[in-house]
Amino acid sequence: MTSNKQLNLFIAYLNNEKRYSEHTINAYQRDILQYTDWLETQHQLSFNDSRPLHIRQYSAYQHRQGLSGKSLQRKLSSLRSYFTYLLKNNLILNNPALDIRPPKGAKKLPDTLDFELIQRLLKLPEDSPIAIRDKAIMELLYSSGLRLAELAGLNTDDLLSDNTVEVIGKGNKSRKVPVGSKAQIALQQWLAIRSDSTPITEMALFTSNRGTRLSIRSIQQRLIYWQKKLGIEQHIHPHKFRHSFASHLLESSGDLRAVQELLGHADISTTQVYTHLDFQHLAKVYDQTHPRATKKKPKC
């Protein structure tokens, strides 16, 4: 069987049996043809002659061309699927891409807000009921590092008398998080007027002007509103408050385990990304202050 006929049968299989979309099928075909061209050019081999070494070399080559880890994983998935198909049809003896993993790309660091910008956001220029509510939302996001869904799901009785808030996080796991004094004041101000627009039967902590629970989308839109109103260029979304909470707390305390508990991370490796942010800050301070790091202007 020729390689073209072989590939055409695989494409027909993806279309008729797997019911993949045209976009996905085109991506598979493009990935397979790109690898085939590379293999023929570099090693003068056909697709069916591939070995694990060739897959690794090709993956490394694509990585050097600037492809992200996600793109490399997709390309490997295409090759792996094709090899699996060939193996099932007795056209090859093994799947050389089965255990190949793409090179890891640089891990993207969380985007945070600096403290001066947060202070600007928390000094809202209005005292309308909506502004009071929105300030309480932002204060609580930054004070306690809550996820957006956690905040949107809060009820009034989740605010506990010991100045903590009980939230239901990922995996339906409950945790208690401290509420800072500034957030406590903002919440008290909101609770004092909340009943003016909210029926007594509504348990949600944050409600709309119609008296219903404020949705996740509405919270996102309110932050964008204040970003634009205050003339802030940096995009503001709820998770940036969580990232800033974690980064600023770690920067001050250095206690990774405590930050892990407060964020509700099951695995400390998830929290460790904030140590990179902290190191960036320390490196900046070092460059600006250490006498052997600062560059002195040459004397004329």
> Which pLDDT score is estimated for 85?
94
Q: Are 68 and 89 in contact (CB under 8 A)?
A: no
Q: Pick the range with the lowest mean pLDDT from 40-44, 98-102, 122-126, 223-227.
A: 98-102
Q: Which of 56, 74, 265, 281 is catalytic?
A: 265
Taking CA atoms, 164 is separated from 17, 257, 289, in Å, by 54, 19, 38
Position 284 confidence tier, pLDDT thresholds 50, 70, 90 = low
Q: Which one is catalytic: 35, 58, 82, 274?
A: 274
Per the annotation, the verdict on 229 as an active-site residue is no
pLDDT of residue 166: 92
Q: For residues 118-144, give the mean pLDDT.
A: 92
Give me the catalytic one of 56, 74, 147, 175. 147
Give the β-pairing of 164-168 and 174-178.
antiparallel
Question: Where does the chain have alpha helices with state H?
Answer: 3-16, 22-43, 52-64, 69-88, 115-122, 129-144, 148-152, 181-194, 216-229, 238-253, 256-263, 268-271, 273-289
Going from N- to C-terminal start, the domains of the chain cover 3-88, 115-287
pLDDT band, residue 266 (cuts 50/70/90): low
Q: Output the pLDDT for position 110.
A: 61
CATH code given to domain 3-88: 1.10.150.130
Amino acid making up residue 10? F
DSSP for 15-78 reads HHTS---HHHHHHHHHHHHHHHHHHHHHH---GGG--HHHHHHHHHHHHHTT--HHHHHHHHHH
pLDDT at 104: 62
Percent of the chain clearing pLDDT 70 (strictly above): 83
CA nearest to 258, candidates 177, 183, 181: 177
> Is 300 a residue whose pLDDT tops 70?
no
Res 282 pLDDT > 50: no
169-193 residue pLDDT tens: 877 888 888 899 999 999 999 999 9
- From the candidates 43, 74, 175, 239, give the one annotated as an active-site residue: 239
Taking the CB of residue 232, how many other CB atoms lie within 10 A of it?
Answer: 14
pLDDT of residue 214: 95
Q: How far apart are CA 46 and CA 63, in angstroms?
A: 22
> In this structure, is the dihedral angle defined by the CA atoms of residues 136, 142, 143 and 144, taken in order, positive or negative?
positive
Q: How many CA atoms lie within 13 A of 69 on its CB side?
A: 8
Tokens 């793409």, residue?
102
Q: What is the pLDDT of residue 213?
A: 96
Q: Which of 194, 242, 243, 248 is catalytic?
A: 242
Q: Name which residue leads in pLDDT, 7 or 279.
A: 7
Helices in 199-237 by DSSP H: which ranges? 216-229
pLDDT recorded at residue 70: 80
Q: Catalytic site residue 147?
A: yes
Q: Is 23 a catalytic residue?
A: no
Structural class in CATH, domain 115-287: mainly alpha
Tell me: pLDDT of 163 over 60.
yes
DSSP 8-state code for residue 98: T
Catalytic residue, candidates 170, 173, 217, 235: 170
- The verdict on whether 63 is a catalytic residue reads no
- Residue-wise pLDDT for 196-246, tens only, equals 999 999 999 999 999 999 999 999 999 999 999 999 988 898 988 888 888
pTM for the whole structure:
0.57
Q: How many CB atoms lie within 10 A of CB 93?
A: 9
Alpha-carbon distance of 147 to 145, in angstroms, equals 7
Q: pLDDT higher for 22 or 259?
A: 22
CB atoms within 10 A of CB 66: 8
